Amino acid sequence: MKKNLSFYLLLLTAFLIFFMAVTCVFPPAERVDFNLRINEIECLLKGVNPFDIWNEEVRLHPYVSNIPKQPVPEGFTKMVNAYAPWEYSYMMAFALLPRGVAWFVYSLLMLLSCFFLIKITRSFLDDTFDEDDKKIISLVPFIVVSYLLWSNVSVGNFVVFVLLFSILTARFLSQGNQVVAGVCWALAMVKPQSAILLAIPLLIRKKFFACFIAVAVCLGASLLPSYLCKTSLIELLIQGPAANAELFYGSGTWPLIFCGYFSNSIDILIGLFIGILLCVFMTWRLRDENDYLIFIMPSLVVASSWTYTQVYGHAICYLLVYAILKDLLKNPSSKMLRILFVSSLFVLSRGFLAWRGLCAYMGVNFPLSEYAFRSIDSLNTTVTLVIALVYVIFKTKNQKQFKLI
């Protein structure tokens, strides 16, 4: 039975990756985020800080702010934002290629990342699992979040890279290689709001050298953009969050709860505080966990909701399905794990989102309003956090939790 199941799961996974390639690479997909990053690097290569264009302090034809404060002049068609400066160095090679070629290479890298996600996840499973169990545990999480990954690939977002390099960080930490783990974390920081909470599990495990390496790589990679646009490194580091503050407000789960009660900045601070508190609580309870993937899981699940996150950003909850399924196969009689597993499948598969995406792809109107869509997605995200919290408490219920050191 398990042998047949693992075979069909493998076929389904191969089909899903093929479907991503056909619909996102041939022909090119919407690739909004990819175009934004390339546009910003083109501005840097012209000696102009993208933040100055976003803030409408500088006019550079044909680049314009993606959140225009004034009417956009005719012919200004390439939108820009301001982002983490090290990301510009990571993406520099793509900006030097023709746009079509750059997208082809970039999207293929995303598809390869999906393949390596599965392969590296499987490497965390020891010999207590047979080959069929290993296939099931490594394939099912990918299949569950496949729609979210497809959405990520179609717009050229970095979530799939965040997930891959976060898993690689865990892999090298488990091998005791803090240098490479730190480099991998720095690469995962290509989307800072999704990867920065990895600092919490690293600090709890006292991996200070890995943290130092990650900071050094990010700052070192920020020097080239600073030189190109003649802007100080500190200014560049501040401008990214400043440009995206409007997106942070009301976009995560926790800020939505407080929306309307406080000012925008207070809402954001409350959301950040609750997110960090939740991450510390869950990670601390997992401090004796041998599987580094399960140990870093709370940092990625919380990051999917604590600040600005589009629906495809929730693909980093991949590790939640992995953690629950791994424990369920170890203890198949557990009713709680069964409930959590079924709940995670229902919430993270995002069936209504797949319906919306299919409607958009076929040019058919989606029957739900944008407000209803956002409300349902926010509810899904909140439920995902609750599932993670219940799982961690259930898994560690027999541990003594009063010691803080």
pLDDT digit string, tens, across residues 234-288: 999 998 888 877 666 555 555 445 554 555 566 677 777 888 899 999 999 999 9
Q: How far apart are CA 309 and CA 356, in angstroms?
A: 18
Instruction: Indicate the range of 62-66, 245-249, 268-272, 301-305 predicted with least confidence.
Output: 245-249
- Which pLDDT belongs to residue 265? 65
Distance from C-alpha of 365 to C-alpha of 164, rounded to nearest angstrom: 34
Chain position carrying tokens 């909470």: 197
Query: The pTM is what?
Result: 0.89
Q: Cβ contacts of residue 274 below 8 Å, gap of 6+?
A: 254, 306
Query: Stretch 299-325: mean pLDDT, rounded?
Result: 83
Average pLDDT over residues 98-116: 90
The pLDDT tens digits of the residues spanning 338-382 come to 888 888 877 776 655 555 555 555 555 555 555 455 556 667 777
CB-based contacts of 264, cutoff 8 Å, min separation 6: 245, 249
SS3 letters across 319-360: HHHHHHHHHHHHCCCCHHHHHHHHHHHHHHCCHHHHHHHHHH
Residue 403 confidence (pLDDT): 47
**Alpha-carbon distance 177 to 292, whole Å?**
13
328 has pLDDT over 70: yes
Domain ranges for the chain: 2-6+31-395
| Gap between the Cα atoms of 171 and 149, Å rounded | 21
Residue 53 has what DSSP assignment?
A: H
What whole-number distance in Å separates Cα of residue 185 and Cα of residue 210? 8
| Comparison of pLDDT for 289 and 370, the residue scoring more | 289
pLDDT at 303: 86
Omega within 30 of 0 (cis) for the link into 62: yes
- Would you state the pLDDT for residue 404? 40
Which pLDDT tens digit goes with each residue over 24-55? 766 555 688 899 999 999 999 999 999 999 88
Helices (H) and strands (E) in the chain, counts: 20, 2
